[in-house]
Structure formats: C-alpha cells, structure tokens
Chains A and B, each alone.
Chain A
C-alpha cells in the first residue's frame, strides 16, 4: 500500500502556475474580508472613544449623579439623565409588551391559520410597515393618532379606570393626546413588523413532521403552537424581539413628535415624558456651551450602553434557552 507509485507528484508547469494564482487570489480574498471585519471593529472603537471624549466633561462635572439626577436645566447648566433614561426604558418596555404578543399572533395566523390566498397580501402589508420612514409615523401620530386619542380613547380610559386603585394612577391626568402612552403605542406599531416577520420566518422552519405528529396525537392548533412550534422556534422569536427592542430604544423622530418632551418623571401613562434620543434630537442643534453639548453626548453614550446591555442579556438568554432545550432532548 505504501509503495504504490503515484504518477509523478510534479504537476505540469501550467497547472501549478494556475494553482499558485488561485492560491494568491484566495489569500487576497481572505485579507479583503478580514479588513472588512476589522473595519467594523475600528468604527465601533472609534465611536466609543469619541463618545467617551465628548461625554467626559459631563461625567467629570456631575459624577454618578448624572445617571440619577432629575434636573435638566440648560440655563444653570445642571444636567441629570434620569428622566430621559426612565422614559426610554418605559416606552420601550410598553411597546414590547404590546408588540410581542401581537407580533407572535400575526406570525401564528400567517403560518398556520391564514387562508392561502390571503397569506401573501397580509405578509407584504406587514413588511411594508417596516419600510415606512419614522418621520411619517411621527407626523401621522401627531396629526391623526394623538387627536383621536385625546378625544376618544384617553377620556374613556380615565373614566373606566377612575375608581380602580392602581390603574387610576396609571391612567390619570389631563388627556393631552400625547405622552408616554401614545409614544409607546406608536413604537409598538413601528416594531411590530420586525417581530412578526422574523417570527413568521422562524415558524416556517419548524419541520412539518413535528407538527403533523402533534396533530396526529390529537392536539388542538393552540396546543401545537404552544407546545411544539414555539419551543422549537424559541431562539428565533427571542432574536426578533431583541431586534425590535433595539429599534424601540433608539427610535427618535416618531417619539419626539408624540411624547411631549418634558424632562420630568412621568407620573401617569398620559403625562408627557422624554427619551434619550428625543432629547438629543430636540436640543442638539441649538445647544450652546461645552457642558450642555457634553451632557447630550453623555446621554447618547448611556443609550449606547443600554443597547449593549440589552443585546448582551439577549445573548445570555438565548444561550440558556439552548442549553435547556439541549438538556431536555437528551
């Protein structure tokens, strides 16, 4: 076996030259893609460094109080980011609370229950929602949504929950039509297509055999979705939700139009508040003075950190989900 004579290990010169050429182009391709990957890292580092540089005067002046301070006063140059951080987290959380169930519901309907001829039109309509620029959502929210809410929805909610202990404080105050509640609803509409599109795609990867087996055992559609499809597609659903959360946290223009832009901790869902990105969009152009600009950069950096933490948590969640489902299958 060992002495089988290979027919000459030397290749004809033309062939070896071609191979060398291919090898070189492979190396070049490798370097090209490596450079592209590094470029992302470099940009990332560049953004962090410049954010830190810009934010440093604010952090140095206010220290940790910048995170907890509730005063945002450009005249006396006292800045605290808490109302903006709070508004960002609350509006995003509310938006997700509305959009995740609805988005998953849409995906279930589209993959399991929707009559075939309706599937494409409904699917395309949802994807189109994702393509609408946020400024359009903002203008629509301000001119159509807010007046409707102010005249009909908010007074009704205030009436209905007026005597319920906890809910009466949540749904209190003059119905301005804009505020935390409207901003969250607009946000939920904006992120809905991300959740439903990703979830639908993941649901479609669930093997038909699994579902058919479940149906064969006599499961209802609900049981199939809850016990077979959702567990199988869990990580994809979480991924889609995180993508949506990322967008909700950073959304600027639509929120700016409908949140009311008040640097106060909102006491009820109808009171005006602000978010980090809305504050920056509102105030950056006319911000005068180093400390003011620096504080705006600093809240930008905080938003960056929040997004980073959200993504990290999502990764951890995905990993533990995978570990758990792996453990069960053994």
Chain B
C-alpha cells in the first residue's frame, strides 16, 4: 500500500511538472500531421475523452510536418495524407494504417449545368488537365455527354495551390489514367501544373470555379457536398458513371485487398467495384513498430480502435467516409503482426 502511495505521489509530482511545462495533460496522447482529417480526429477525441478520460492533442501542421515530428519522436503518432512507401517506413522503423477515406470531386462552371449533369472519364479528365482538350465542345467530352448542350468555351483549369492530400489523390488518379500525365507531371501533394490557376484551399478553388465561366476544378467531397457545387460523374474502372457518395467511396475500399497490401501502401484511386468512386484515398497514421514507451502507443491504438468501432457515424456526419469492417480487421491484424506485443491493445 505504502510504496504504491509513494509511487502515486511521485507520479503526481511528475505530472504536475509535465503539466506546468507543456500545459497539456500528461495522460493525453499527442499527434501531428495532416490537416484533412483534423476535424474528425478532434471530434473523435472529444467523444473518446468523455468516455475514457484520455484526451488527444492533435496538431494539424500538414503531412510533411507530421512525418518529421514522428521521426523526431516528439509525438506519439504522425498523420499523413500520402502513405509512405514501404522502404521508407522500414528505414524509420515505422508502420502505418488508414483511418478514414476522403474523396476528391471534379467540379465545373458551365451555363445551365447543375450538379451531377455531366460525366467525364479519367482519360478525358487527364487530357483536359494537360491542356490537350481546350474547349468544352471537344468531341471526347461530347461523346461522354450526348444529351448535354456544351458551349464552345475555353476550359479554365483550377487547381489547389497549397500542397495537400487532395492534390495527391487527384494527381495519383490522373497518373493512373494517363501515361502522359504520369511522365510529364506525376503525382504528389504539389506538382508542376501544365496550365491553369491555383486557388488556396478548397475555398480558393471553389470560389475560382464559381467566378470563372468554363472552369474545371476539384475539391474535397465534403466541401462539394456542403456547398452544392456542380460536381460531375466519373466513369469508374467497371465502366459505370459513379456519383460521389459515402457508399460509393466505401465501395472503392471494399474490394481492395488491404490485408495483403504491403504496409497498407494502397492509394484508392481507380479501384474496381460497381459503384466505386474512382478518385478516393485514405489518410494514414504513422507509429513506431518498436516504441520506446509501449504504454503510450497502446493508448494511441486503443483510441483508434475505439474510433473504428464507434466513430463511423461521427465521421459520416462530417462527411468523411469510415473504413469498411473488412479493412478494420486487416488493420488490427497488422498491429499484431508488426507492433511490439506490449503496445497492442
């Protein structure tokens, strides 16, 4: 009893010092990185704290920052919109797993065209972005939209100027659909755009598209949904004109063989599935395989495991797409396979 009391006292003193030093609860888990999932992480953290008393201090400083912070071991987990290649993970002793899925939706501004009235496929979209298709009444676009009255208006491409997961998903999709895009531009959080103008953030892109007649841009699914912008259908791998919805994005993940993927290094663009939305991508968490403090990592994994089980509706409310059950199973299996047993809940 007595040593226990002493230990508690020592712990309390240590906590007090830590509190004074950092201004945060010592029991809180800390994370930093991607801005895209910050809202849902904060929402989950609120609910989780109410349930368990363990809080989360998540700093949305950007994926690059998150990767740097976890490598510097200043946080319990890092978050990145772009999965790290297996080689890079191994070199740093890290492992990664997805949390929620985001989708990117192309949006247009053409007279009389409302949300969901146009259809494009990947090849055509890539050619538009490359500048090879310059006018809306191009034969390739007409062929996909026989019933739409397309004007002879120049296409103004609008892209995200700030480095973002949205850019990565979008350019990754274009790279898969067009070898020319893949060699000339490539896929990254920022790329060298062949033409067009850059808006800052979803707001910047959406506003530019709204203001510019003949504009084609792309925004996060949640943003398009909340702002009722004229999104377009995309022909997916199965040849179906998919529309962006939570179900369609989940469908993109459902058939993916996450369990056999190398460190979940999967980008969910152009996945098969009847209704699958082709421009989707998960956001990722980075943790150490052999943590210095297994107890803290255990707290982190407990948090995410609770989120997978209870956070689906919260995610949907914020128009994020929760992972399907099969994916969650694969994630939990990967924890057991990769992370020290002491840290796995």
In the complex the two chains form, is A150's CB within 8 Å of B212's CB?
A: yes
Asked if A38 is at the interface of the complex by the 8 Å CB criterion, the answer is no
Asked if B22 is at the interface of the complex by the 8 Å CB criterion, the answer is no
* Cα separation A111 to B316 with both chains bound (whole Å): 61
CB A266 to nearest CB in B, in angstroms, measures 11
* Cα separation A146 to B200 with both chains bound (whole Å): 14
**Contact residues in A for B31 (Cβ distance below 8 Å):** none
Number of A-B residue pairs at CB separation under 8 A = 100
Interface of A is mostly: loop
Ranked nearest first, the 4 interchain pairs of A and B with the lowest CB-CB distance are: A285-B62, A286-B163, A261-B161, A75-B186
In the complex the two chains form, is A71's CB within 8 Å of B163's CB?
A: no
Asked if B207 is at the interface of the complex by the 8 Å CB criterion, the answer is yes
**Contact residues in B for A285 (Cβ distance below 8 Å):** 35, 61-65, 162-163
CB A80 to nearest CB in B, in angstroms, measures 10
Asked if B189 is at the interface of the complex by the 8 Å CB criterion, the answer is yes
Interface size class of B (residues with CB under 8 A): 35 or more
In the complex the two chains form, is B192's CB within 8 Å of A176's CB?
A: no
**Contact residues in A for B198 (Cβ distance below 8 Å):** 260-262, 272, 282
- Which residue of the partner chain, among A75, A178, A261, A262, contacts B185 with CB atoms under 8 Å? A75
Asked if A142 is at the interface of the complex by the 8 Å CB criterion, the answer is yes
* Cα separation A262 to B197 with both chains bound (whole Å): 6
Asked if A105 is at the interface of the complex by the 8 Å CB criterion, the answer is no
**Contact residues in A for B186 (Cβ distance below 8 Å):** 73, 75-76
In the complex the two chains form, is B193's CB within 8 Å of A288's CB?
A: no
* Cα separation A177 to B207 with both chains bound (whole Å): 11
In the complex the two chains form, is A177's CB within 8 Å of B162's CB?
A: no
CB A300 to nearest CB in B, in angstroms, measures 15
In the complex the two chains form, is A288's CB within 8 Å of B64's CB?
A: yes
**Contact residues in B for A177 (Cβ distance below 8 Å):** 211-212
Q: Mark A49-91, 1 if CB is under 8 A from B, else 0.
A: 0000000000000000000000111111000000000000000
Known: A73-B191, A286-B165. 9 other contacts (CB 8 A): A71-B192, A150-B212, A176-B208, A178-B197, A179-B197, A260-B197, A286-B62, A287-B189, A288-B63
Can you list 19 A-B contacts with CB-CB less than 8 angstroms, sorted by A residue number? A71-B192, A75-B188, A174-B154, A174-B156, A178-B197, A260-B161, A261-B199, A282-B198, A282-B200, A283-B163, A285-B61, A285-B65, A286-B62, A286-B165, A287-B189, A287-B190, A288-B63, A288-B64, A293-B64
* Cα separation A179 to B82 with both chains bound (whole Å): 30
Asked if A263 is at the interface of the complex by the 8 Å CB criterion, the answer is yes
In the complex the two chains form, is A176's CB within 8 Å of B163's CB?
A: no
Q: Mark A260-274, 1 if CB is under 8 A from B, else 0.
A: 111100000000100
Q: Given the known inter-chain contacts A150-B212, A260-B197, please indicate yes or no for A282 contacting B188, CB distance below 8 A.
A: no
CB A180 to nearest CB in B, in angstroms, measures 12
CB B36 to nearest CB in A, in angstroms, measures 10
**Contact residues in A for B189 (Cβ distance below 8 Å):** 74, 286-288
Which A-chain residue is minimally distant from B34 (CB atoms)?
A286
Which B-chain residue is minimally distant from A76 (CB atoms)?
B186
CB A34 to nearest CB in B, in angstroms, measures 32
Asked if A226 is at the interface of the complex by the 8 Å CB criterion, the answer is no
**Contact residues in B for A142 (Cβ distance below 8 Å):** 204, 207
CB A288 to nearest CB in B, in angstroms, measures 5
Q: Given the known inter-chain contacts A150-B211, A177-B211, A257-B204, please indicate yes or no for A287 contacting B197, CB distance below 8 A.
A: no
CB B258 to nearest CB in A, in angstroms, measures 23
Asked if B67 is at the interface of the complex by the 8 Å CB criterion, the answer is yes
Among A75, A272, A286: residue with most chain B CB under 10 A: A286
Interface size class of A (residues with CB under 8 A): 20 to 34
**Contact residues in A for B167 (Cβ distance below 8 Å):** 286
* Cα separation A177 to B187 with both chains bound (whole Å): 28
CB A239 to nearest CB in B, in angstroms, measures 33
Asked if A152 is at the interface of the complex by the 8 Å CB criterion, the answer is no
CB B59 to nearest CB in A, in angstroms, measures 11
CB B110 to nearest CB in A, in angstroms, measures 15
Asked if B131 is at the interface of the complex by the 8 Å CB criterion, the answer is no
CB B111 to nearest CB in A, in angstroms, measures 15
In the complex the two chains form, is A74's CB within 8 Å of B192's CB?
A: yes
* Cα separation A169 to B32 with both chains bound (whole Å): 47
**Contact residues in A for B65 (Cβ distance below 8 Å):** 285
CB B64 to nearest CB in A, in angstroms, measures 5
Which B-chain residue is minimally distant from A151 (CB atoms)?
B211
* Cα separation A72 to B167 with both chains bound (whole Å): 16
Which B-chain residue is minimally distant from A287 (CB atoms)?
B64
In the complex the two chains form, is B192's CB within 8 Å of A75's CB?
A: yes
Q: Given the known inter-chain contacts A285-B35, A288-B64, please indicate yes or no for A261 contacting B207, CB distance below 8 A.
A: no
Asked if B196 is at the interface of the complex by the 8 Å CB criterion, the answer is yes
Asked if A235 is at the interface of the complex by the 8 Å CB criterion, the answer is no
Asked if B164 is at the interface of the complex by the 8 Å CB criterion, the answer is yes
* Cα separation A76 to B184 with both chains bound (whole Å): 10
Q: Mark A103-136, 1 if CB is under 8 A from B, else 0.
A: 0000000000000000000000000000000000
CB A147 to nearest CB in B, in angstroms, measures 5
* Cα separation A71 to B62 with both chains bound (whole Å): 24
* Cα separation A71 to B200 with both chains bound (whole Å): 21
* Cα separation A142 to B204 with both chains bound (whole Å): 8
**Contact residues in A for B185 (Cβ distance below 8 Å):** 75
